[in-house]
Amino acid sequence: MFFLRASKDSAEALTKVLKLYEEASGQSINANKSSITFSRKTPAALKTVVHDTLSIQKEGGVGKYLGLPEHFGRKKCDLFSSIIDRIKQKAKGWSNRFLSTAGKMTMLKSVLSLVPSHAMSCFQLPVSLCKRIQSTLTRFWWDDSMGRKKMSWIAWNKLIRPKDQGGLDFRDIQSFNEAYLAKLAWRIINNPDKLIGRILLGKYCHNEPFLAVDVKVEISHGWRGVLIGRDIVMSNASWEVGNGESINIWTKPWLSCEVQESPMGPAPLQYLNLTVSDFFLPNSREWNVDMIRLVLPMEEQKILAIKPSVTGAPDKLSWLGAKSGSYTTKSGYATALSTRTDPMDTSIADQSFDWKKAVWTLKTSPKTKLFVWKALHGAIPAGEALRARQINVDGKCKRCNLPETIDHLFFHCPFAKQVWTSAPVFPSIEYNGSIVLRNQWINLISRKNLPPTGVEGQLAPWILWGIWTARNNLVFNDKLTSATETLSKAISLAREWGTCQTISSPLPAVPPTQAHASPNCIVVKSDAAWNETLNVAGLGWVMEGQNRTSSFSLPAHHVRTPLAAEALALREAIWKCRELGFTRIRCESDSAVLVKALKEDTFLTGLYGILIDIQALASSFECISFNWISRKKNVEADVLAKQILSVELALMASPTLV
């Protein structure tokens, strides 16, 4: 695929390039299978010239490339309608007819919801198409295996909620589309020199930067989707201070690494164009406290807590949805979904109920978990529930002839009472008034099984399932099951499932061996102590090697987190090693998070300036490594850090001692 200006000179240049390629490779371009796509305003005479020069007479733009349309008209839904056909085709596969409810959930999440992923990662899908895709997924979830339409008991906007909020974590198609587009925008922001960045920025961002370009009427559908993704990124991003030269203090969020925060305006005219770098002392990366107090006195503590790059690294946009500061589709989806859903849609009961403990951490089969989830939502087709949905059925219990509500079916019916009171659990279940399933469920699953049941997990979910199957046998098969048989069947199913989950114990793991430092290598152990009340830290490090040990420590003020203190200690230690002329060092820290970030060359939100400095300093050494050690092996550095912190706190408490 080639992009060029519609002119004779450009066409002739491309012809020469293609001929050189044919001569070098021995391959020949097939003009009959090639096509040219022109912009709308290209004159007919110029089209003819280009066709003749390239010897390609076919015009393209109306077909598909890698399953995506080459040209967009007004009816975009028709261009992507094949997505729905592919979803339906996969859903109707013969193997899907035998799926349980848990199997259908896996199929929907892992297969059907991902069918439009390729299209969504490139273009914005029409809202109406997203709704049609959602409708197709809804019907797959609720309908039976033979394709017969059944009742939807729970709204889709509840199914897409996270599991800990009472949903099933199904994907909202429109939000997922926006998350994919935001991923594309993030790549352009961080890698503008890549091919896609050069093409799109070169075409649409001539006079203004990508983050400031407006959405114009005449832009392409693809570029419009990129700008939608950009807006998603910027809605939950903040700037990390490097050299501070590209961050305007008024227009960009930079004061916090947790939420978007910039100084309150209006900005004084004389300070309108100030950047963060103007708050540094001359020829330094240390904060100019007098300047900060003059311009932003209310933000002094927040600014002083920011640790800029002392090596002058450029500023970086950080994604607030992930601890690493890098955008991920998962975190972007959560952000997009939060802007589309109303927190008030979640009832108070759903917010306060512990769904994780009540359903998803139960030691029972996935099918049983989903049944419990439906029961807790009241989505079980009991008699009264069907009548409430205008279904003409007898809503009476077949055993006691009382209204068959969900609570009656599982607890108040004499049959259900006999099952529960006979259950071999401790403490035993007693009836003291009416029982509401959601109110009593946590209590029921917390009871211990008595021997010799042989069931390790909770028995209550299996009893619930046993009562339901016994009810269905009576209603549909006219088969009466006793309470004893129902309880025995529940225990048998629980024991059988538990036996299948038993995994042979693996071979004992070989403990990892500690790698020793190579000869002429200095071992640097660093640690930090942190006072949360005053945000003061003590930094300590020990250098071992060349038959000697050296100890260093110093205090640090305005440190917001213990992890920041650990990173500062390591940066100071490496800096000291460079000053002393060491070329081969082995850095050891008891902060696993910090060591992992340095090994994987990633950043952590709020620590960009420190980590980028460590990486820059590391490049000046002949050999350097970062390793985690336990606290027991880092006692000396820990003692140094605590000692200097104690001294600093004493000086702060008694200024007259200074």
Percentage with pLDDT > 90 across the chain? 70
Same-domain pairing of 382 and 427: yes
* Rg of the chain taking only CA atoms, in angstroms: 33
Which residues have a Cβ under 8 Å from the Cβ of 567 and sit 6 or more positions away?
591, 594, 607, 610, 611, 614
Together in a domain, 645 and 549: yes
Output the CA–CA distances (angstroms, integers) from residue 137 to 88, 108, 113, 168, 510, in the order listed.
Answer: 9, 7, 8, 13, 47
∠ CA(532), CA(535), CA(536), 5° rounding? 110
Structure confidence by residue, pLDDT tens digits, 176-199: 999 999 999 999 999 999 999 998
Specify whether the CB–CB gap between 589 and 283 falls below 8 A. no
pLDDT in tens, 28-71: 888 888 888 888 788 999 989 999 998 888 877 656 666 777 66
**284: exposed, middle or buried (C-beta count within 10 Å: 0-12, 13-18, 19+)?**
exposed
Residue 29 is given by DSSP the state: -
Is the CA virtual torsion 161, 164, 166, 167 positive or negative?
positive
613 in any annotated domain: yes
Residue 435 pLDDT level (bands cut at 50, 70, 90): confident
pLDDT single digits (tens) 440-462: 999 999 999 998 888 888 999 99
Give yes or no for residue 143 having a pLDDT over 50. yes
Tokens 């947790």 sit on residue: 258
Query: Which of the residue ranges 33-47, 577-591, 635-649 would you say has the lowest mean pLDDT?
Result: 33-47
* 550 and 641 fall within a common domain: yes
* Residue 411: Cβ within 10 Å count: 22
Task: Give the DSSP per-residue string, 533-578.
Answer: TTTEEEEEEEEEETTEEEEEEEEE-S--SHHHHHHHHHHHHHHHHH
pLDDT at 37: 84
Q: 360 and 492: one domain? A: yes
Contacts of 482 (CB under 8 A, 6+ apart): none
**Residue-wise pLDDT tens digits, 109-123:** 999 999 999 999 999
pLDDT-derived band of residue 146, with 50, 70 and 90 as boundaries? low
Residue 555 belongs to domain spanning? 522-657
- DSSP reduced 3-state for 64: strand
246 confidence band (pLDDT: 50, 70, 90)? very high
Beta carbons within 8 Å of 209's beta carbon, 6+ residues apart: none
pLDDT tier, 78 (very low <50, low <70, confident <90, very high otherwise): confident
Tens digit of each residue's pLDDT (9 = 90 or more) over 267-278? 999 999 999 999
What is the number of structural domains in the chain? 3
Please name the residue ranges forming H helices in 210-287: 221-234
Tell me whether strands 548-556 and 425-426 are parallel, antiparallel or unpaired: unpaired
Instruction: Tell me, yes or no, whether 495 and 427 share the same domain.
Output: yes
At 545 the pLDDT is 87
Residues 491 and 588 in one domain: no
pLDDT tens string 343-369: 555 555 566 899 999 999 999 999 999
Nearest CA to 577 among 542, 628, 527?
Answer: 542
Give domain status of residue 463, yes or no.
yes
Return the higher-pLDDT residue of 593 and 509.
593
Report the distance separating Cα 143 and Cα 64, nearest Å.
Answer: 33
Same-domain check for residues 534 and 460: no
Mean pLDDT computed over every residue of the chain: 90
In a domain, 447, yes or no: yes
Indicate if 383 and 495 belong to the same structural domain: yes
Residues 361, 454: one domain? Answer: yes
Domain identity same for 589 and 450: no
How much of the chain, in percent, has pLDDT values that exceed 70?
A: 92
Predicted local confidence at residue 654, as pLDDT: 75
* 528 and 495 belong to one structural domain: no
- Rounded CA separation 618/113 (Å): 44
More reliable by pLDDT, 511 or 483: 483
pLDDT per position as a tens digit, 305-354: 999 999 999 999 999 999 999 999 999 999 999 887 765 555 555 668 99
Would 376 be classed as within a structural domain? yes
Q: What is the DSSP letter of 642?
A: H
Q: What confidence category does residue 513 fall into, taking pLDDT thresholds of 50, 70 and 90?
A: very low
- CATH number of the domain residue 526 falls in: 3.30.420.10
- Domain for residue 364, yes or no? yes
Of the three residues 39, 60, 81, the one that is the final residue of a domain is 60
Asked whether residue 628 carries a pLDDT value surpassing 60, the answer given is yes
Boundary residue ending a domain (500, 533, 560): 500
Evaluate whether residue 84 is within a structural domain.
no
Amino acid code (one letter) for 509: A
State how far the Cα of 161 lies from the Cα of 373, in Å rounded to an integer: 13
| Strand partners of residue 586 | 523, 625
Poorest-pLDDT segment among 105-114, 205-214, 215-224, 574-583: 215-224
Is 182 part of a structural domain of the chain? no
Distance CA 234, CA 332 (A): 11
Distance (Å, whole) CA 169 – CA 166: 9
Identify whether residues 605 and 482 lie together within a single domain.
no
Question: Is 410 contained in some domain?
Answer: yes
CB distance 540 to 526 below 8 Å: yes
Task: Assign 148 a pLDDT band (cuts: 50, 70, 90).
Answer: confident
Give start and end residues of each alpha helix (H) in 248-319: 289-295, 300-304
Q: How far apart are CA 128 and CA 83, in angstroms?
A: 13
